[in-house]
Amino acid sequence: MKQLYRSYDEAVDIFYGLARRRPDLFSVEVIGQTWEKRDIVAVKISQNVAESSEKPALFFTGTIHAREWIGLELAIGFAEYVDRNIAYDHAVQDALSQAAIYMVPCANPDGFEYSRNHFSFWRKNRRQNADGSYGVDLNRNFPVGFVKSNKPTSNIYGGPEPFSEPETRALRDFVEAHPNITIALDYHSQGNVFFPAHDFRHEDTIDTTDLNVLCANMAEEIRKISDREYGIHQGKPPAKLISGSGREFYYSKGILSSVVEVGTRNISDYLEDMIEHIREHIPALLAALGETPNYAKENRLQRPENFRATFVGTDNVTLEWEPLSEEFDSEDIYFEIYRSRREKSYSRPFNLMGMTQATRFADANLESDTPYFYHIRAVDKRSGRKSPFAPVLAIRTHVGSDEFHRTYFPLPDKTGYVAEKILDNSSHFGVNSLFVGVNKNKGIAYSIVAFALRTIPFGARIKRARLRLYPLNRVGVTVEKFGEWNVGMVDPSWNGDIAKFDDVKDMDICSYVGRPTPSNHLTQGIWRSWVFSEKECEVLQKQIEKQQVIFRIEGPDGLPVGRTSQMMQWDIGYGKFGGGLPFRPCLEITYTLDPQKMTLFPKQSFTVRANDIEEDRIVSGFDGEGKKIYSTFDFELGSLPDIDFIEITRAYVVLNPVKVYAKENIRFHLEMIDADAERDYEAIKARRIIENIGYDVSAGEFKNEGQLFVFDSYALQEFANRLRDKKPIAFLLRPSSAQKFIKNSVVEWHSSHPDFTPKLVVEYLRKRRRPVAPVSDLVYRIENGKIKLSWKNPEDKDFKGVFVIKNPFRKPISPYDGDKLYGGPDNWTYDDFGALDVKKYYAVFTYDDVPNFSEPVILEYEPKK
């Protein structure tokens, strides 16, 4: 496995060889020496590499931890790829003509050689400490967040002081001497995850979206090569954030920075795994390199500001933002808008939804009750430079006219894991992470997640559902490319003990949910969703009678040869290990109900001919002179419920003919018209058509059976308007024909027989249309080092609760635009992990049973100076 890896000297020789052969493309310089007097080299790659300092650059560091050999091998692989492909690969040519890449392939040469030759699990450098032990963890030796330690034997001992080590000083000096560096990537192993930089606060920063998109774009390039999905995880509460790392030092210099954890072992099987890792990361590196000009400190294009959703509907959204400042010529600037269905997603050509020079964009053809995430950046059409991204905008489209939505969170005492080799499994419920899979210590482990379904009505028909879990840790559990993870719905009749391993193992599963997740699709830091099929929704529907559903999460029950763990860890959202409400498992259900139906009969009807008007008779067609005969009939709507508390899901007019004396080439149209229109032939000919109802019908079709004329969406809106205004509604039957002259061709309908007279059938749901009133008296105070919000809820029988949303960048107009701090009927909450020194906006939205959300009540938190 290890024989194919290059030594440090061999690697350095490769780089010097490339520089000798292609001096226009490669250069190598010594930037420092280690404790054992090895040269630390930096490799520069760019077209006209001697001028690389005039271009924006990507800074690549590898193998700062001695046992993580991927960094050095990837640097070699990338350099050789450039050498082989630059003659014809336009992506390489374009990237290196516009930018440079600076690589320190091995930031820890002494430790790397010690790992190769003596102790493969060695992590630190080879300094001799005062107590006789060896080594400093170089990735804890930088100043940002540096932690003083008196344990030199520790694997994470950060040294006596920041930059105490020649290796970190060399990196520092190189970065400070190259202000053209805009992106820094620090390659480690293992975990298949990106760890973007943070500022030691659990708050998003203005460039969090830039970091996430950069990593997501690289992850998409990886997925295209190997179908492996990489996670993105910036650090979430209550996790202890890594201190003294190079990543945060580079970030403190205004550089977008991320750690890249590659593979599932520190030292992978070279032929089986390492070659694949190199292949999949080369295009990812090129994608990152292509972004470096957009973050150059000189002449950086302004980030779009106040990116917001000014309208959200069931299938469309309107986005707006501010124009760039006057220093940028608006004629040269346009904007790119990207849309995705999941958080931390890429912004690539295939999810680019629009380009515009306006400061407004309408996105349509969306699905109802669905979350969407939007990114926007400005582009200078002359130079091609792009701005940083505005902070991501999250919305959720409204439920459809016949829909209701529920988001359920698990019951703490019925959510946890059971493991084969652990005796007290009941202690895992409500206080620990969810472990699923198998390892040597726990044996096989299953997780149980239970939801109460008490607020969903009996008789509900589930249209869509998905179960969501937040992957908490992939690095520590070392998941190989082996096995898959499934979600099973437990049979409602099962009556075992959820805290007993044998009972859980033998559970009766009535259905599995969605597609299984293979191990190479498991990620860290990105929600994983199991989407219910139509049949699985029917099975879930049956659980409503029990007012509870239990899921068993299961993984592989065997291990690859030679491995000790194949287990994934998920957040539970509760207890000291949980990240709180934003990371709690959830079950999202969109459902409908069987509509109520009301049948209305005409109040009055008329047949309007050229020479007379006949009341209480419905005839339409052509008379003996070939003139059109019209019929009208209208309905009173007073018997229908208040429009503010119903949703009309469907309406249609039923026409049953009595006599058909018409040729088949005659067609009849049904029109909605003003009920107060005059019943006069000339007035009818000049009528205002509100909307055509359904499709026109031929006389021949009337011979077979009655016909339904179904309202379209616009007609339903107009119908609702008349119901709201307490006005009647009227319809007109109009004949038409392709022939120029037709005589004595008519159809007659009943006007009084209850079984055959025209009917207006209205189907509707009892559903509130407007939100309840917003909260009042929203205030905050500092209590025990936390921001506490309180407010007064409205007194309304339909009030169900509030959403409390936090956003540090803009006023949240949507109840999904930001971090959700609370959802429920209380009148107070804490921002548990909020930093007191960060300006932010808090918004409180009330909601009802649909849910409809009120306009937000917004409070601006300004830190004390």
Each residue's pLDDT tens digit, 257-289: 999 999 888 777 767 788 889 999 999 999 999
Q: What is the average per-residue pLDDT within 758-773? A: 96
Stronger pLDDT, 373 or 204, i.e. the higher one: 373
Please tell me whether residue 850 adopts helix, strand or coil conformation: coil
pLDDT, the chain, mean: 93
Please tell me whether residue 776 adopts helix, strand or coil conformation: strand
pLDDT digits (tens, 9 = 90+) for 131-178: 999 999 999 999 999 999 999 999 999 999 999 999 999 999 999 999
Confidence of residue 728 (pLDDT cuts 50, 70, 90): very high
Report pLDDT for 563: 82
Q: What is the average per-residue pLDDT within 793-816? A: 96
Q: What is the average per-residue pLDDT within 443-453? A: 96
pLDDT digits (tens, 9 = 90+) for 110-140: 999 999 999 999 999 999 999 999 999 999 9
pLDDT digits (tens, 9 = 90+) for 634-687: 999 999 999 999 999 999 999 988 888 877 788 999 999 999 888 899 999 999
How many Å apart are CA 724 and CA 793, to the nearest integer?
Answer: 28
How many Å apart are CA 442 and CA 549, to the nearest integer?
Answer: 26
Report pLDDT for 75: 98
Q: Which helix (H) or strand (E) holds 353?
A: strand 352-356
How many Å apart are CA 865 and CA 863, to the nearest integer?
Answer: 6
Strand order in the sheet with 333-340: 352-356, 333-340, 371-380, 393-396
Report pLDDT for 210: 98
Q: Which two tokens stand for residue 290?
A: 């292509």
Q: What is the average per-residue pLDDT within 757-763? A: 94
User: Is 1 a residue whose pLDDT tops 60?
Assistant: no
Lowest average pLDDT, out of 339-343, 468-472, 687-691, 738-742, goes to: 738-742
Beta-bridge mates of residue 732: 632, 671
Report pLDDT for 477: 58
Q: Which helix (H) or strand (E) holds 106?
A: none
The residue type of 64 is I
User: Is 432 a residue whose pLDDT tops 90?
Assistant: no
The CA angle 487-490-492, to the nearest 5 degrees, is 155
Q: What is the average per-residue pLDDT within 8-17? A: 98
User: Is 306 a residue whose pLDDT tops 70?
Assistant: yes
Report pLDDT for 475: 60
Residues 6 or more apart from 722 whose CB is under 8 A from it? 637, 675, 728, 729
Question: What are the angstrom distances between the C-alpha of 800 and each of 392, 395, 642, 741, 819?
Answer: 29, 21, 21, 64, 20
Helices 8-21 and 70-85, packing angle to 10 deg: 20
Question: What are the angstrom distances between the C-alpha of 858 and each of 281, 552, 805, 811, 812?
Answer: 44, 40, 9, 7, 8
pLDDT digits (tens, 9 = 90+) for 323-335: 998 888 788 999 9
Confidence of residue 238 (pLDDT cuts 50, 70, 90): low
Confidence of residue 508 (pLDDT cuts 50, 70, 90): very high
pLDDT digits (tens, 9 = 90+) for 239-254: 777 889 999 999 999 9
Report pLDDT for 424: 92
The CA angle 242-174-65, to the nearest 5 degrees, is 40
Compute the half-sphere exposure of residue 843: CA atoms within 13 Å on the CB side of its CA: 21
pLDDT digits (tens, 9 = 90+) for 454-500: 999 999 999 999 999 998 876 665 677 788 999 999 999 999 999 99
Contact 413, 494 (CB under 8 A): no
pLDDT digits (tens, 9 = 90+) for 188-214: 998 899 999 998 888 899 999 999 999
Report pLDDT for 739: 83
Report pLDDT for 704: 63
pTM for this predicted structure: 0.93
User: Is 746 a residue whose pLDDT tops 70?
Assistant: yes
DSSP string, 134-159: B---GGG-SSTT----S-TTSTT---
Report pLDDT for 578: 80
pLDDT digits (tens, 9 = 90+) for 86-113: 999 999 999 999 999 999 999 999 999 9
On the question of a cis peptide bond just before residue 238, with omega within 30 degrees of 0, the verdict is: yes
Residues 6 or more apart from 484 whose CB is under 8 A from it? 516, 517, 518, 519, 555, 556
Q: Which two tokens stand for residue 335?
A: 């904007």
Of 183, 261, 184, which is closest to residue 228 (Cα–Cα)?
261
Radius of gyration of the chain (CA): 34
Q: Specify the DSSP class assigned to residue 286.
A: H
Q: What is the average per-residue pLDDT within 541-563? A: 92
